[in-house]
Amino acid sequence: MAVVVAVSRSAAHSMSKPIVNRIVLVAGHGVDGDAHAGATVRHRARVTKDANAPNLRQVHLIHSELHDELNRRGFAITAGSMGENITTRGVELLALPVATRLRLGDEAVIEVTGLRNPCAQLDGLQRGLMAAVIDRDEQGNLVRKAGIMAIVMIGGAVCAGDAIVVELPPRPHRALGLV
């Protein structure tokens, strides 16, 4: 069963986000009270390039299976520590195509826009963490494992324990790229 493990938000532009009991997703905006919420880009580096660009990074999701993998490798990673708003279990987030919709709980619907690009700030949490979330597949292609980004289509509250329903877009599917 696909489920929300934890939800996090932070009003400050910080790497880690504290876990909260619930977050409220606002259509076209993001996580209410989060520094990255807004119709236009909020990521500090992206604002300097084009402050009017649409915000395709309203909600950040990471699969808790990545936390498990990192913890087995000696890292001390918990929900929210890598900056995600929603920590999931039971969904292969990195394998989802662009425009996949995720129903979260009873109300909220988000649409997957792309991959999060791991940044050097991860090494501020623990040395070597950035390298640990980058891999290569069998063909030698770069694999970024630091989660996915989404936009809010239908708002609503999201809490730990909420079910996640995956709705794939029509074919042909487009693989996730950086956003």
pTM of the predicted protein model? 0.96
- The rounded percent of the chain whose pLDDT value lies above 70 is 98
Are residues 117 and 178 in contact, defined by beta-carbon separation less than 8 angstroms?
yes
**CA atoms of 115 and 175, how far apart (whole Å):** 10
Tell whether the model's pLDDT for residue 28 goes beyond 90. yes
49-106 residue pLDDT tens: 888 889 999 999 999 999 999 999 999 999 999 999 999 999 999 999 999 999 999 9
**Side-chain half-sphere of 80: how many Cα atoms within 13 Å?**
17
Q: What is the topology classification, in CATH, of domain 3-167? A: M1 Pyruvate Kinase; Domain 3 (2.40.33)
The C-alpha angle 124, 33, 150, rounded to 5 degrees, equals: 75
| Cα→Cα distances 38→55, 66, 93, Å | 7, 27, 23
